[in-house]
Structures are given as C-alpha cells and as structure tokens.
Amino acid sequence: MIICICARVSDKTIERCARAGQSFDDIQLEHGVAMQCGQCAGCARDIWERCNGASAVAHIREASETAAV
C-alpha cells in the first residue's frame, strides 16, 4: 500500500528499510517520505517503529531453557 503519495513510497519499502536498520531520518532522505505535505508522517513512523530492529522486543524462554538456567 502506498503510504507517501507525494514520493510514492509503500509500506513495504518502509518496512524493508526499518528491518535493515535504517533510521527514520535515513528513510526520509533516501525515499522522500514525509518531506513534502507531511500527511503520511504519523503512519510512516508507526510502520518504522513496528519494524525497527532497535524496538523493545520481549524474549520468551522455553520451559527447557529455564530449567537449564
């Protein structure tokens, strides 16, 4: 789905860049997201935050792992 109409950037592009470790600023500079009208900024940042590798992620151990610890 196209997120940034002005620059024709899709959610998949934002997801791919975020998973590759790019900052939101890097994505803006490379692809032009949220650089013109700004209507996509909130949605684009939400996608970036959801896919960003630096986001906090819960680590769940299996029962066999906790028994060994």
Domain assignment of residue 27, given as a range: 2-68
Domain count of the chain?
Answer: 1
**Residue 34 burial (C-beta neighbours within 10 Å; 0-12, 13-18, 19+):** buried
3-state secondary structure of 4: strand
| Rounded-to-integer distance, Cα 51 and Cα 44, Å | 11
For the whole model, what pTM was predicted? 0.74
pLDDT tens, 16-33? 999 999 999 999 999 999
- In this structure, what CATH number is given to the domain that contains residue 41? 1.10.10.1100
| Rounded-to-integer distance, Cα 66 and Cα 58, Å | 15
pLDDT given for residue 63 in this prediction: 59
| Rounded-to-integer distance, Cα 2 and Cα 32, Å | 13
Residue 55 has pLDDT above 70, yes or no: no
